[in-house]
Structure 1
Amino acid sequence: MGSLFWNLSRFRTSLLFIIASLTYFIKALNYHSFEKPKKLELPPGPKPWPIVGNLPEMLANKPAHKWIHNLMNDMNKEIMCIQLGSVHVIVITSPIIAHEFLKKQDAAFASRPLSVSTEIASNGYLTTALVPFGEQWKKMKKVVSKELLSPLKHQWLHDKRIEEADNLVRFVWNQCSGPNQGGRVNVRIAAQHYCGNVIRKIIFNMRYFGKNKKDGGPTNQEAEHVDALFTVLKHIFSFCVSDFIPSLRGFDFEGHEKIVKKAMKILNRHHDPIIEERIEQWNNGTRTNEKDLLDVLITLKDDNGNSLLTSGEIKAQIIELMLAAVDNPSNAVEWAMAEMLNEPELLQRATEEIDRVVGKERLVQESDLPKLNYVKACAREAFRLHPIAPFNVPHLSMADSIVNNYLIPKGSHVLLSRQELGRNPKVWHDPHKFLPERHLKRDGSEVVLTEPNLGFISFSTGRRGCPGIVLGTSMTVMLFARLLHGFSWSVPPNESRIDLSESVDDLLLAKPLVAIARPRLPMDLYHKD
């Protein structure tokens, strides 16, 4: 009897335990089944107005990049969402978050937004950098990376680049009063037109559109050409209202469309006759050897032996190549020279490095560039502190994504802040000071201009990364090294320092850099043709 009672007691205890466990399980199941999932939020940002979003604030606080960066600083945020019309514009100033967009989830952000300016500049999206993700982009990316900017083509075009580096030295020398005497040099003109000369040389095998100028400087045609390129660059993705409210396209309230069309008309006027004549020469057999990149583009064939590219694609891609080549190197070198003129010991150290590597009996060559670590450190510091544009070319989200625990809706425009990535105090010590030494490596290994960790942006990375890193690096460092090697530089006598103020509308020097240059090498080196 006692044994039976004991067994019943054990049975009741077990039954109660089972019932309690089932009750708990059912309650837990019901709780999780009906619990509302946590809703992901957009990155923080200003409260938008209905329909127009934050467009009224943007229009009242031009330029837009300063308004955006001031908002982020006031909110103390490294990622922010601004609604412009119905478009979510996501801005990033943190390298860690930028890495999430361009490295870990690059596939989701590999497209480009549509805009009035980019449609005009790319001749209806026929090019590479400005084109939305799709078959046209894949086709043109392959052409540019494998056929135009490959290591083999870079070596093939070496002599043309050196010819323009020699012309640069001759042009600056001609601004001097005579041997061992100084002259005032507009460094911006020298730098921008060197870049224009290089890209014209490797594409068209010509420096001038008209008659050569004796001093090696730009003619009116080249000045007009470079000005048009910079005009187009200034208006690409320039926060035009109609880009965020497409129904307003065609009204051109801000005049952007008219400005870009006028600049493109200038570029086409200079380019099209050359391109059309060259196509005709290849068609009639009067030209049979490739001498420049235009020849390469014309002679590309598809699998059936037909021309791979239309004349429209060739014309559009050439303009995009020129747009990509003229701004970054010239801006970095102008800013670096301005900063170093105010810190003469930096100028001296860079010049001494070139003398140690090259000597004074010949001009610096591309083969010397890997050894010029301090010169490249100065260029890197200019890219970090003084980028050519406030933001990189926008990426477009192709699907809803989650980044840094925030929802990034499909169709969002993603902007990496070139300005604030490079000036982020969490990454860079004393971020507003020009300190080239921060880029030198302790083991003395080679300094490069790229920045894979996105501490700043010199050349874009990821699937939409810049295919012209090698060309851009060689143009930047050669321009910089030739100016430093060939001349001694000083502040004009009526000034104590170079004014380092930024332009009101962009990140260029407010006033073009003008400095005194004095030849420092044997005279025969300045007269190479």
Structure 2
Amino acid sequence: MSLSLASLDLFPNVFLTVLAILISGLVSLTITYRNHNSNRNNLPPGPPGWPVIGNLFQFTRSSKQFFEYVEDLRKIYGPILTLRLGTRTMIIISDASLAHEALIERGAQFATRPVETPTRKIFSSSEITVHSAMYGPVWRSLRRNMVQNMLSSNRIKEFSFARKSAMDKLIERIKSEARDNEGLVWVLKNSRFAAFCVLLDMCFGVEMKEESIEKMDQMMTAILNAVDPKLHDYLPILTPFNFRERNRALKLRRELVDFVVGFIERRRKTIRNPGGSESSFAYLDTLFDLRVVEGSETTPSDEDLVTLCSEFLNAGTDTTGAAIEWGIAELIANPEIQSRLYDEIKSTVGDRAVEEKDVDRMVFLQAVVKELLRRHPPTYFTLSHGVTEPTTLSGYNVPIGVNVEFYLPGISEDPKIWSDPKKFDPDRFVSGREDADMTGVAGVKMMPFGVGRRICPGMGMATAHVSLMIARMVQEFEWSTYPPESDIDFAGKLVFAVVMKKPLRAMVKPRI
């Protein structure tokens, strides 16, 4: 759970205005300091900032979302720029060749994470996490375990039963909602719930009642809200005034541990006494006896297990749900693509329900999903990177402690890489006139899951979930706009993932 940029859009202007007034007397000093410091550090160019708060005041005064603010800045300062938000300095990169140099060619140097905020540390349990652990033996052990024992292609196939169950429930939920609302359904709510149910099965391997699933979902969302950076995370001088929020975070953490440990104990009992309806394998099974550091006797504590399960659930829920919402929106806006996709599904499977084994044979479906991830990456920024030692990039210094951010639309919508990059065009992949390896090894053209050593380990699982979900939803229903003949609003906003600013409520018509 590394630093997210989404919550920057929530900073109230009033706090920054008051703070700016209090420190306005330091303007002349900061101009002198900035000029000296810029020359000394040779950081990439960027907008001059205020004393103490840096560019926070300018950002909030812009009345733009953070990604919109960055989009404006890159037009002025180019594909690598510096932005200072309070005590945090960000180097923002939006160029494919620079991303490849940093994350592929010199991956070890850019493989660590920035220091966690105080609130995030409450939920990270001794930094025993895959996503936000510093580059080193703990991270290598946890990631290797997740990739080899949980997210390999063979292991993912073993959970086909969980995906089938979740897909069946998804279709029934959509049918029920449509019956009750004259054909209208909320796309994001239903798709993210289906993704969450799959991950629950994979993580815990125990049956859960509906109320337990809903409570778990609510707690995971509460965690994401709690760890999103707040004003004091950028201005530590305000930390003493944050005791109430810290107490709320501690209380939430205690509630989470108490709730989740019950399911961890159930899984332990299942392993000791196998049989019944519980899954034969789960992510937890790989963690109970894991040596966190090679050669040591240290295994994850129950609190560590809660942290690892939480990040597993949160990493793939909102991003998958958002991808489905954008995908359905594009299919509605491009009915000829929706019709062509349905025809491919029909010709591939006939009247039976789409199964996972069918997806690999559907060339157009795979092109639709790849174009979806190019045009609408799950986030506009990768998780923040840091450097393990002072280095340089594009002739500029990159010091230790700086947040290195990669702005994905700057790459996936670069007209030097893509023809008509704003157009949703799966045929660019079908025809072979354009293509991209999402791992970035052969060259970075799109990186919806990041690239390099910190590439999202769940990339294969995520694409499998998105592909199957879209196939089932298109097979079962014809999707159209509400009100009829209206245009889709493709404006986005950063929450935990990039979601549609105006949530998609669509009309469905059963095909069968």
Report the Cα offset of residue 128 of structure 1.
Answer: 0.8
Equivalent residue, structure 2, for 1:390 = 380
Deviation at 1:324, TM superposition (A): 1.1
Pair 1:279–1:46, CA change in 2 (3 A): same
- Structure 2 counterparts to residues 278-297 of structure 1, below 5 A: 278-279=267-268, 285-287=272-274, 290-297=280-287
Alpha-carbon distance in 1 for matches of 2:509, 2:434: 31
Q: Which of 124, 131, 140 is matched with 2:133 structurally? A: 131
Structure 1 unaligned spans of 5+: 1-37, 212-218, 522-529
Tell me the CA shift for residue 371 of structure 1.
Answer: 1.9
Aligned to 1:49: 50
Tell me the alpha carbon deviations over residues 109-134 of structure 1, each in whole angstroms, 9 at most, x when there is no partner. Answer: 11111232432332231111111122
The one of 509, 513, 516 equivalent to 2:504 is: 513
**Aligned with 1:347 (options 338, 358, 366):** 338
Superposition deviation, residue 317 in structure 1: 0.6
Q: Which residue of 1 aligns with 2:91?
A: 90
Measure how far apart 1:323 and its partner are.
1.1
Q: Determine if contact 1:40/1:405 at 8 Å carries over to the other structure.
A: no
Give the SS at the match of 2:488: coil
| SS in structure 1 of the partner of residue 507 of structure 2 | strand
Q: For 1:14-93, list aligned pairs within 5 A.
A: 41-61=42-62, 63-73=65-75, 75-93=76-94
- Which one of 118, 121, 128 corresponds to residue 119 of structure 1? 121
Answer with 138-147 or 169-178: which moved more. Answer: 169-178
Q: Give CA-to-partner distance per residue, 1:482-522, whole Å, 9 cap, x none.
A: 1011222222355523332324867311222122222223x
Amino acid at match of 1:326: T
Contact 1:385 1:432 in 2 (8 A): yes
Of 464, 470, 474, 2:454 maps to 464
Q: 2:470 aligns with which of 460, 480, 493?
A: 480
- 2:143 maps to 141
Q: How many Å separate the matches in 2 of 1:335 and 1:428?
A: 20
Q: Distance in 2 between matches of 1:455 and 1:233?
A: 29
Task: Check whether the contact 1:354–1:372 (CA below 8 A) recurs between aligned residues.
Answer: yes
Q: How many residues align?
A: 466
Range that drifts further, 227-236 or 379-388: 227-236
- The residue correspondences of 1:373-388 to structure 2 (distance < 5 A) are 373-388=363-378
| Contact 2:128–2:304 (8 Å) recurs in 1 | yes
Query: What's the C-alpha RMSD, in Å, of the aligned pairs?
Result: 3.3
- State how far apart, in whole Å, the 1-side matches of 2:222 and 2:412 are: 25
**Contact between 1:182 and 1:518, CA under 8 Å: does it hold in 2?**
no
Which deviations, in whole Å up to 9, do the C-alpha atoms of 1:236-273 show, x marking residues without a partner? 5x5544434445445339x8757766765665454221
Deviation track 1:116-162 (CA, whole Å, cap 9, x = no partner) reads: 24323322311111111223212211221222223332232222222
How far the C-alpha of 1:350 sits from its partner, in A, is: 1.1
- CA deviations over 1:170-222 (Å, ceiling 9, x no partner): 322333439xx9722211111100100100111223564x34xxxxxxx5x54
Conserved in 2, the CA contact under 8 Å of 1:231 and 1:260?
no
Q: Is the 8 A contact 2:104 2:440 kept in 1?
A: no
Find 2:417's aligned residue among 413, 418, 427: 427
Q: Distance in 2 between matches of 1:263 and 1:494?
A: 43
Greater alpha carbon shift after TM alignment, 292-301 vs 331-340: 292-301
On the 8 A contact 1:228/1:264 being kept in 2, the answer is no
The worse-fitting range, judged by mean Cα deviation, of 264-273 and 476-485 is 264-273
2-structure distance, mates of 1:264, 1:479:
32
CA distance 1:396–1:241, shift in 2 (3 Å) = farther
Show the 5 A alignment for 1:62-461: 63-73=65-75, 75-116=76-117, 117-177=119-179, 183-206=183-206, 208=208, 210-211=209-210, 221-233=212-224, 238=228, 240-252=230-242, 267-268=256-257, 270-279=259-268, 285-287=272-274, 290-300=280-290, 308-360=299-351, 362-442=352-432, 452=441, 453-461=443-451
Query: What secondary structure, in the 3-state scheme, does the structure 1 residue paired with 2:310 have?
Result: helix
Q: CA 1:251–1:387 in 2, change beyond 3 Å: closer, same or farther?
A: farther
How far apart, in 2, do the equivalents of 1:118 and 1:380 lie?
32
Ranges in structure 2 where 5+ consecutive residues have no aligned partner: 1-38
User: TM-score, normalized by length of structure 2?
Assistant: 0.81
Instruction: Deviation per CA, 1:70-120: give whole Å up to 9, x if none.
Output: 2222x0511101123444310011111111111111111111112324323
Question: d(CA) in 2 for partners of 1:305 and 1:396?
Answer: 27
Which one has a bigger Cα radius of gyration?
1
Q: C-alpha distance in 2, partners of 1:201/1:448?
A: 30
TM-score (norm 1): 0.78
CA contact (8 A) 1:399 1:411 kept: no
CA contact (8 A) 1:109 1:398 kept: yes
Identity %: 26
Measured after TM superposition, the shift of residue 439 of structure 1 is 2.5
- Letter of the aligned partner of 1:168 in structure 2? L
Deviations 1:330-388 (A, max 9, x none): 2111111112212211111111111122222x111111111222222222222222223
Inter-CA distance 436–308: structure 2 relative to 1 (3 Å threshold): same
AA partner of residue 501 (structure 1) = A
Q: Alpha-carbon deviation of 1:300? A: 4.4
Cα distance 1:305–1:72, how it changes in 2: closer, same or farther (>3 A)?
Answer: closer
The letter of the residue matching 1:189 is: K
Distance 1:227 1:350, change over 3 A: farther
Q: Give yes or no for contact 1:185–1:514 (8 Å, CA) kept in 2.
A: yes
Query: Which shows bigger deviation, 389-398 or 268-277?
Result: 268-277
Letter in 1 for 2:467: V
